[in-house]
Amino acid sequence: MTTARIFCIANQKGGVGKTTTTINLSAGLASLGWRVLLVDLDPQGNATMGSGVDKRKLELSVYDVLLESASVAEARVRSERGGYDVLGANRELAGAEVELVPLPHRNERLRRALTAVEGDYDFVLIDCPPSLSMLTLNGLCAAHGVVVPMQCEYFALEGLSDLVNTVKQVHANLNCDLELIGLLRIMFDPRITLQTQVSEQLKAHFGDKVFNTVIPRNVRLAEAPSHGMPGVVYDPAAKGAQAFVAFAREMAQRLGAAKTAQPVTPTPAPQSEGLPG
Ligand code: ADP
Ligand code: MG
């Protein structure tokens, strides 16, 4: 049995594409045959809704899991369109920020809860809220790595150093498994000179921590959530959808996932090498 690789999609800025990345990377990995769980850690519940799960109708959510009144197995639901499981969130989760404070292991509750299902998945992707809150800390403590979506804009690099420091601190004090997996350039428009410049700066500064795949600005990705499905499923031929599938491939390769596990889609049996004679 394989054990899930767990990633936070994080950036303390809002509107940089965290949720879009979480949804479409989940759908992209699922389309390649990997078993995926999406965890929505943002009380806005956008990743839940964008996966086609109505946050207002959730019987159990990540809130119940953090407060240990439900297990992940009890609270997860299926994104039929996305082909992955969802541990959903809604406004109730905002209360957890306060309710967790006096509780034991308050930063490690998600990690503990995920242990019970890590054999069920190849990837767990956690959509973090735009802050370095206790919810984000729960995500960072549960994860093996952080994926940072970012727009190539003037202030992008400035915000990045805060996040890199947080990852270092969590690594040093709370979770020695945690590493920065990579930076994903998203909503990219190569016609804008500034974006090309910032992209070059990023590569100069972070080297191969910058993913090769670039997600273009693509209106189909922005439209998809209102139809309750990932962009990858809503319009698979669109440039944004194809970029996310390419990104899913790059992630799996970068992690060497292909070496330790195989997607559930059947692969043709190798030809046996018959000896002559
Ligand atoms: P975050 O979760 O970081 O707040 P979102 O994923 O919600 O960011 O994205 C913010 C807005 O940008 C949303 O309206 C989303 O649809 C849009 N968006 C994200 N990525 C793209 C893209 N590649 N092309 C066009 N619009 C995008
Ligand atoms: Mg979001």
CA 241 to ligand 1 center in whole angstroms: 13
CATH of residue 129's domain is: 3.40.50.300
Reported confidence tier of residue 266, pLDDT bands at 50, 70, 90: very low
Strand pairing partners for 127? 9, 40
Which residue has its alpha carbon closest to ligand 1 atom 18? Answer: 222
CA 10 to ligand 2 center in whole angstroms: 9
Report residue 208 as tokens: 């191969």
Structural domain range at position 156: 5-254
Q: Which of 40, 117, 48 is nearest to 82 (CA)?
A: 48
The model's pLDDT over 118-162, given as tens digits with 9 standing for 90+, comes to 999 999 999 999 988 899 999 999 999 999 999 998 887 888 888
The 10 Å Cβ neighbour count of residue 199 is 17
Reported confidence tier of residue 34, pLDDT bands at 50, 70, 90: very high
Phi, psi of 36 (to 5 degrees): -125, 140
Ligand 1 pocket (Cβ < 6 Å) reads 14-20, 46, 130, 186-187, 215, 217-218, 221-222, 240
Within a domain: 18: yes
The number of the ligand nearest the C-alpha atom of 223 reads 1
Flag whether pLDDT at 165 surpasses 70: yes
Q: Which atom of ligand 1 is nearest to the CA of 240?
A: 23
* The pairing of beta strand 210-216 with beta strand 5-9: unpaired
Q: CA-to-CA distance for 184 and 166, rounded, in angstroms?
A: 18
CA 14 to ligand 2 center in whole angstroms: 7
Could you tell me the CA-to-CA distances from 238 to 18, 213, 235 in Å, in that order? Answer: 19, 15, 6
Q: Out of 15-24, 65-74, 168-177, 249-258, which region has the weakest mean confidence (pLDDT)?
A: 249-258
Flag whether pLDDT at 277 surpasses 60: no
Within a domain: 110: yes
The angle subtended at Cα 142 by Cα 261 and Cα 170, nearest 5°, is: 120
CA 9 to ligand 2 center in whole angstroms: 9
Report residue 180 as tokens: 């920065």
The number of the ligand nearest the C-alpha atom of 11 reads 1
Cβ atoms 113, 107 nearer than 8 A: no
Q: Which atom of ligand 1 is nearest to the CA of 187?
A: 23
Q: Which atom of ligand 1 is nearest to the CA of 222?
A: 16
Reported confidence tier of residue 264, pLDDT bands at 50, 70, 90: low
Which residue has its alpha carbon closest to ligand 1 atom 10? Answer: 15
Per the structure, the count of domains in the chain is: 1
The number of the ligand nearest the C-alpha atom of 219 reads 1
Within a domain: 245: yes
To test the ligand 1 pocket, which listed residue (12, 18, 20) has its Cβ within 8 A of the most ligand atoms?
20
The model's pLDDT over 187-216, given as tens digits with 9 standing for 90+, comes to 999 999 999 999 999 999 999 999 999 999
The number of the ligand nearest the C-alpha atom of 44 reads 2
Which residue has its alpha carbon closest to ligand 1 atom 13? Answer: 222
CA 22 to ligand 2 center in whole angstroms: 9
Q: What is the pLDDT of residue 161?
A: 86
Residues with CB under 5 A from ligand 2 (ion): 18-19
Within a domain: 267: no
